[in-house]
Amino acid sequence: MIKFHPSEEHLFHYVTGELTPAMLMVVGTHVDMCSQCQRNVHHIEEDLAQKVFGQRQIPTELKAANDSFDGDDMLAEIMAQTPQPKQHLLNGVANELILEGRRFPLPGTLARSHHRIGAWHKLIGQMWRAPVQVGGEDVLTFIYMAKNTKVPEHTHKGNEATLVVNGLFNDETSEYRDGDFMFLDGSVKHTPETRHEDCLTLAALDAPMHFTSGISRLLNPFSSLFFK
Ligand SMILES: [Zn+2]
């Protein structure tokens, strides 16, 4: 059962294509995994279509006030940017990710972008990362944490959106499982760890991480590993 979802605002911007490419992937993958957000996205799409088509019925005397709003252009843009419906068959390799002998099934949005996923690199401890090239300024990366791994406490200079693709991790406040979506701004300090099982996450980061606690300050160059 998914407990943590993108905000209404994120979903709205997902529908209108106003997220960065990295955020679009993280939110889109969550939507793939979450029937509740699929329903919300559908409602937002309906509302928007209503507004766009409704615009045509606006009486001429009111039209001047709305001249700056071009419904047709907006709809064309939405159609161009909204992710296309799921495709089913993907060849044997494209719909999974393999690391250390573990196979992770990939939700549709990620499977369709399989060719953008780079090679795994080991970070400190039992953590690996694989970058996903989606363009834009943000960084999109898979992060895999083996069981009993702890990320040093850190804050973010920017925003971080994280989606649990497979597995389970904890931080000071909650437990996050498959499909859970977190959005943290620069004010949040947290220490993710895997106590019970390993965990594969997808993270969109818009600025380097900044480690805050004790010796992990020395690890600050670690953040640059996320931004190569
Ligand atoms: Zn959801």
Kindly report the CATH number assigned to the domain that includes residue 188: 2.60.120.10
Give the predicted TM-score (pTM) of the model.
Answer: 0.75
For residue 40, give every residue at least 6 positions away whose Cβ sits within 8 Å of its Cβ, in sequence order, or none.
Answer: 8, 11
User: How confident is the prediction along the chain (228 residues), in pLDDT tens digits per residue?
Assistant: 899 999 999 999 999 989 999 999 999 999 999 999 999 999 999 988 888 777 544 444 444 444 444 555 555 665 555 554 433 333 444 788 888 788 898 988 888 888 899 999 888 778 899 999 988 878 899 999 999 988 877 766 778 899 999 999 998 889 999 999 999 887 777 788 998 899 999 999 886 656 565 655 555 444 545 544
Q: How far is the CA of 104 from the centre of ligand 1 (A)?
A: 20
For residue 77, give every residue at least 6 positions away whose Cβ sits within 8 Å of its Cβ, in sequence order, or none.
Answer: 16, 17
Query: Tokens at residue 10, please?
Result: 């994120």
What residues form DSSP beta bridges with 57? none
Q: How far is the CA of 41 from the centre of ligand 1 (A)?
A: 10
Q: What is the 3-state secondary structure (H, E, C) of 87-119?
A: CCCCCCCCCEEEECCEEEECCHHHHHCHHHECC
Q: How far is the CA of 6 from the centre of ligand 1 (A)?
A: 6
Domain-located, residue 162: yes
Q: How far is the CA of 191 from the centre of ligand 1 (A)?
A: 23
202 shares a domain with 100:
yes
206 shares a domain with 107:
yes
Using an 8 Å Cβ cutoff, are 6 and 19 in contact?
no
16 shares a domain with 100:
no
Domain boundary among 18, 51, 81: 81
Angle at alpha carbon of residue 34, lines to 146 and 75, rounded to 5°: 125
Query: Tokens at residue 55, please?
Result: 């615009």
Q: Which residues form the domain of 47?
A: 8-81
Q: How far is the CA of 126 from the centre of ligand 1 (A)?
A: 29
